[in-house]
C-alpha cells in the first residue's frame, strides 16, 4: 500500500481538554486517509523553575493550535544525529520539547466503536532520539493505523535533564529527584487517557510499547502505582527494567551526578546549592556539554567516565 500526502489537506479540528488542535491529513493509495496531529504539548516547558522537576500539566489554551509537524527533540548529544543523518528528524529545543503525536484513521468517523490505542516510547539509552526518529508513514500508517489502531508517540526528557539526581535533602523539595523522564512519560499517559477518545481511541484499551530504553520504560511503567489504569498491555522490545543499562541504585547515580557537576565546573558546597540560583548556570553547563559535537564514532568517546555515564542516563530506584 503506497502513501501520498497533500500539504493542503487539513485534519478536522479536535477540541481537547487542553485546547483546540488541528493537524494534517495523509491519503493512502486506496483512498483512505489518516489524520496526523503532531507536536501537541502535554506539559509546561521544563525550563526555569520547572527544570529538573516533575513535569506540570500544560496550561489550557483557547486559540486553535497548528499541529502539523513534530515538536523539537529534548536536549541531547547532537553528534549522534550528525553521523546518523537518516534519523536526524526534528531539532533540539528545551522549551516545548514535551509533546506527543497522534495518528488516527480518518475512517473512524464511519463507525461508533472506539479503536484500540498503542503508545510508542522511543529508545536511545535514555540519552538520545525522539518521537520523530521512527518516521510516520511507513511504521505508523502502513503497519498500525491501517489495522484500525490509533497510534501515539511521545517525547520525554533525556540524559542529565531527565535523570539527574543529587540523592540528598534537595530531592525532598522536588528538584533533582531523578527519573524526570519517567514522570514525563506518566504525565503523557494521563493526557492520552483524558483525551484520546476525542481522536477515536479507546482509553480502556491502551497498549504501551517501546524499544530498548522504551521497552524498559514500558516495563517500569507497568509496575508503577502512578500509571495504574492508564494502560492495559505492554510490549517491551529489546529492553526491560531488568536490563543492566536501565537501572542504577540511588547512591551510585547520585555520586556520578555530583562528580559530573564538578566536571562541568560547578563549585557549590552545600547540599542545597543547586536550589539557590546556581541551578540555572548549572543547567546551562549541562546543556553545553550535552550538545557539544565531537569527532569520533557514534558512541560517546573520550576518557571521562563520569560524563559518559551521566549522559547515558539510567533510572534510579525511587
Share of the chain above pLDDT 90, in %: 37
Residue that has been written with the C-alpha cell 522504551 in this structure = 214
The pLDDT confidence band at residue 96, using thresholds 50, 70 and 90, is confident
- pLDDT of residue 289 exceeding 70: no
Please state, in angstroms and rounded to a whole number, the distance separating the CA atoms of residues 101 and 88.
Answer: 17
Tell me the pTM: 0.81
For residues 241 and 236, give the distance between their C-alpha atoms in angstroms, rounded to a whole number.
10
Tell me the C-alpha to C-alpha distance, in Å, between residue 306 and each of 19, 180, 234, 267. 43, 20, 33, 16
Q: 58 is written with which cell numbers?
A: 500544560
Contact 82, 102 (CB under 8 A): no
Q: Give the whole-number percent of the chain exceeding pLDDT 70.
A: 68
The domain covering 3-237 belongs, at the CATH homologous superfamily level, to: Alpha/Beta hydrolase fold, catalytic domain (3.40.50.1820)
pLDDT greater at residue 261 or residue 198:
198
Return the closest-CA partner of residue 2 out of 106, 146, 119, 113.
146
Give counts: helices (H), strands (E), the chain: 8, 13
Report the distance separating Cα 158 and Cα 280, nearest Å: 18
Grid look-up 530506584 returns 317
**pLDDT for res 295:** 37
Whether pLDDT at 249 is above 90? no
For 63, residues 6+ apart whose C-beta sits below 8 A from its C-beta are: 19, 20
For the chain, the structural domain boundaries read 3-237
Contact 132, 86 (CB under 8 A): no
Contact present, 166 and 254 (Cβ < 8 Å): yes
**Span 140-184, pLDDT tens digits:** 656 788 889 999 999 999 888 888 877 765 555 556 677 899 999
Check whether 278 has a pLDDT greater than 60: no
Tell whether the model's pLDDT for residue 79 goes beyond 50: no
Chain-centroid distance of CA 97 in Å reads 8
Q: How high does pLDDT run on average in the chain?
A: 77
pLDDT at 2 over 60: no
Question: How would you class 315 by CB atoms within 10 Å of its CB: exposed for 0-12, middle for 13-18, buried for 19 or more?
Answer: buried
Phi and psi for 45 in degrees, rounded to 5?
-55, 130
Asked if residues 122 and 133 have their Cβ atoms less than 8 Å apart, the reply is yes
Amino acid at each position: 500500500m503506497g502513501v501520498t500526502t497533500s500539504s493542503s489537506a487539513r485534519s478536522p479540528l479536535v477540541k481537547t481538554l487542553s485546547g483546540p488542535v488541528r493537524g494534517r491529513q495523509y491519503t493512502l493509495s486506496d483512498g483512505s486517509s489518516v489524520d496526523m496531529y503532531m507536536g501537541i504539548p502535554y506539559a509546561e516547558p521544563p525550563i526555569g523553575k520547572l527544570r529538573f522537576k516533575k513535569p506540570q500539566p500544560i496550561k489550557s489554551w483557547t486559540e486553535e493550535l497548528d499541529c502539523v509537524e513534530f515538536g523539537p527533540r529534548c536536549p541531547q548529544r547532537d553528534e549522534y544525529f550528525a553521523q546518523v543523518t537518516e534519523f536526524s528528524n526534528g531539532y533540539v529545543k528545551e522549551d516545548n520539547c514535551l509533546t506527543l503525536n497522534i495518528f488516527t484513521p480518518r475512517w473512524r468517523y464511519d463507525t461508533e466503536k472506539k479503536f484500540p490505542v498503542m503508545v510508542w516510547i522511543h529508545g536511545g539509552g535514555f540519552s538520545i532520539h525522539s518521537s520523530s526518529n521512527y518516521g510516520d508513514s511507513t511504521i505508523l500508517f502502513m503497519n498500525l493505523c491501517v489495522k484500525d489502531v490509533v497510534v501515539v508517540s511521545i517525547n520525554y526528557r533525556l540524559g542529565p535533564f531527565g535523570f539527574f539526581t543529587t540523592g540528598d535533602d534537595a530531592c525532598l523539595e522536588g528538584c533533582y529527584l531523578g527519573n524526570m523522564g519517567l514522570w514525563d512519560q506518566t504525565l503523557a499517559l494521563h493526557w492520552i487517557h483524558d483525551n484520546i477518545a476525542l481522536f477515536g481511541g479507546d482509553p480502556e484499551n491502551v497498549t504501551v510499547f517501546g524499544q530498548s530504553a522504551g521497552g524498559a520504560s514500558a516495563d517500569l511503567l507497568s509496575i508503577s502505582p502512578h500509571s495504574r489504569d492508564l494502560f492495559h498491555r505492554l510490549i517491551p522490545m529489546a529492553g526491560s527494567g531488568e536490563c543492566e543499562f536501565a537501572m542504577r541504585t540511588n547512591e551510585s547515580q547520585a555520586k556520578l551526578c555530583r562528580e559530573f557537576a564538578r566536571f562541568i565546573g560547578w563549585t557549590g558546597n552545600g547540599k542545597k546549592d543547586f536550589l539557590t540560583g546556581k541551578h540555572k548556570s548549572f543547567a546551562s553547563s549541562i546543556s553545553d556539554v550535552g550538545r557539544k559535537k565531537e569527532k569520533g564514532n557514534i558512541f560517546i568517546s573520550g576518557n571521562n567516565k563520569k560524563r559518559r555515564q551521566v549522559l547515558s542516563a539510567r533510572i534510579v530506584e525511587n
